[in-house]
Chains A and B, each alone.
Chain A
C-alpha cells in the first residue's frame, strides 16, 4: 500500500441555479478506507456522491483518482468513455433503491455477469461460475441464480446489487443509503456482510447515510454535512462520542434510544 490517497477532492461545489447542492468540499480518501457522509435530508450528501461518481458534473472544484497504474487522473477532464469504463471496472455504485442499480428483467446470474461481459469475458461457464461464487458470498442461494430480481425480497435485491458491483474487483465503491428501506434485522445482516466484504477485499468506500449507526459500524472516518457544507469531519468514533459542531451535537443527541 502506498502513502498516496486513492481520491483527492478539492473545493468541490455544485450549484443548482442559485441553490447550493454542496459547497467547497475537500477531502482525501485512502485505499481501504471507509468514509461516511452523514447529515439530514437535503444537506447535499447525495449531490456530493453523484459528483464524485461523475454521475453529475460539479460547478467548480476538482477530484483526482489514482488509477491502477498509479497515475492521478482528473475525473472531470476524462472522456465519457473513460469515465464509464472506470465506473464499471474500478468503481461500484450501490443505489438506495436496488431497482436503480439492477436490471430487473434479466436473471440474477446475468446481473452479476454483466460487468464481466462488459469487460470482454466471453466464456459462459466461467461467467456462471463467478456468478455462483458471488451469490454465495452475498448469501443468496445458488438455485436462485436464474430468477429475476423482481422475484427477490428487498434485502436480497440489495445483496444482489452489491455482488453485481463487486464482481470486477473494484477499488472504490460509492453507496447511497445502502440499508435504506430495509427492516432492522435485514439491515443488521447486510451491514455485517458489507463490513466483511470491505475488510476482506480492502475496498475503499464512500457511504452516504442519515443513519449514524450505519456510519459507526461501517466507517473509519466521517464527514457531517449541513446545507451543502461540511460542518465537521474526523474519525467516526471521535465525531460520534465527542461531537464539536453544534449541529453534530444535535444530530448525535437526536438518536432515538430504545
Chain B
C-alpha cells in the first residue's frame, strides 16, 4: 500500500465511510427500507454506479477480493473501470471468479454461480423507488411505504395484463421483502429475482444520484409480486447458450453482422468461460457434449430472423452473399 498515498484508503474519507456504514446498518436492520444518505460526488458521472461504488468503498478492506460485473460481464467498460479504480485506490485483489470474490459489485445481474455466506453483492441502483412511475411525489411514496399501502404496485401489474395478456414487466420487477417493504431490485432481469430469495449472501443496494441505500440481509424472504391467476414466472429461452450450451441461464442476444445474424450467449461471462474451459466439471451439471470444444460454428451465423428485425431489408442487403 505504498502508491495510494494520494487518496485515503478506498477513495472516500473515513467520516464519509462511517456515515455510509451507518446507513447500511440501518438498511440491514429494516430490510427493503430505503435509507437516505449524504451521497458524495464521485469521480464518475451519475448513472455509472456512483451509489454502488460508495457502498463498496465503505465496506471494502485490504483483504477483500473484488469482482465487478456490468450486465453480467466482467469485461465491459463500466466493470473494467470500477475494478481498476478499486485496485488503484484500495490496492485490493480483484478477480472475475464469482466463487472467490468476497465483494461483487454488480450492475443489473446476479451471477449464475450460487452465492455463499460471507459474500456481499453490491447493486448499482438508478431509481430506488418502485412506486416512482406510479406516484411522482416523494412525500406521498414515503407515506405509502410507511403505511404499507401497496395497492398501487398491483395497479401496474394489472395494467400489464390488461395490455399484454400477461405481466410484461421483465426487469426491475417489484418484490416484497420479509413481508413488509416493497422494493425495486434495481433493473436486474426478473430472471434473477428468485436468486434473491433467502440468499446466503448479503445484498446491498446503493443509489448515488437518488441518495438512497437499502439492503437485504442473508436468508431474507424476497417474494415477487403477482396475481393469484397470473403467478410470477421468469423468462425462459428456446435455445441454450451458443458458446457453452448452458441451459436455465440468462442469455444476451449478440448481433453478429448487418444481415440479421445473431446468437444468444450467457450474460454471465465468468460462468460461460468456466463452462467452456472445464466442460466436464460437475459444478455445471457435467454436460460434456456440446459445451466448449464441441461448438458448432454454423450456429454463429444463423439465418436472419424476420421477427427480430425492426427495419425493413435495405437495398443491396445480403448482396455479397451471392
A residues bordering B, Cβ < 8 Å? Answer: 80-81, 84, 88, 103, 106-107, 109-110, 113-115, 117-119, 122-125, 127-128, 145-146
Contact = CB atoms under 8 A, between A and B. Distances in A.
B229 interface: yes
Given A107-B162, A124-B161, A118 B152 contact: yes
B14 interface: no
B227 interface: yes
B147 A110 contact: no
B228 A117 contact: no
Contacts of A88: 151
Interface residues of B, number: 20
Contacts of B226: 122
Nearest to A103: B155
A122 B227 contact: yes
A109 B159 CA distance: 8
Contacts of B134: 103, 106
Contacts of B152: 114, 117-118
Q: Is the interface of A mostly helix, strand, loop or mixed?
A: helix
A161 to B, nearest CB: 16
Contact of A122 (B147, B149, B154, B162): B154
B229 A118 contact: no
Given A118-B150, A119-B151, 16 more contacts: A80-B143, A80-B147, A106-B156, A106-B159, A107-B159, A107-B163, A109-B158, A110-B162, A114-B155, A117-B158, A122-B227, A123-B228, A124-B161, A124-B229, A124-B230, A146-B163
A69 to B, nearest CB: 21
Nearest to A114: B155
Closest 10 CB pairs of A and B: A118-B151, A117-B154, A124-B227, A117-B151, A123-B228, A81-B147, A110-B155, A110-B158, A125-B229, A146-B162
A214 B150 CA distance: 37
Interface in B107-151: 134, 143, 147, 149-151
Given A114-B152, A117-B158, A118-B152, A123 B147 contact: no
B147 A84 contact: yes
Interface of B: 134, 143, 147, 149-152, 154-156, 158-159, 161-163, 226-230
Nearest to B144: A84
Contacts, number: 56
A127 B230 CA distance: 12
B149 A84 contact: yes
B151 A114 contact: yes
A74 B297 CA distance: 76
A109 B162 contact: yes
A53 to B, nearest CB: 17
Of residues B150, B152, B156, which shows the largest number of chain A Cβ atoms within 10 Å of its Cβ?
B152
12 contacts: A80-B147, A103-B134, A106-B155, A106-B156, A110-B158, A110-B159, A118-B152, A123-B227, A124-B161, A125-B229, A127-B158, A146-B163
Contacts of B229: 123-125
Nearest to B227: A124
Contacts of A114: 151-152, 155
Contacts of B147: 80-81, 84
Contacts of A84: 147, 149
Contact of B228 (A80, A106, A118, A122): A122
A145 B226 CA distance: 21
Given A110-B162, A123-B228, A115 B155 contact: no
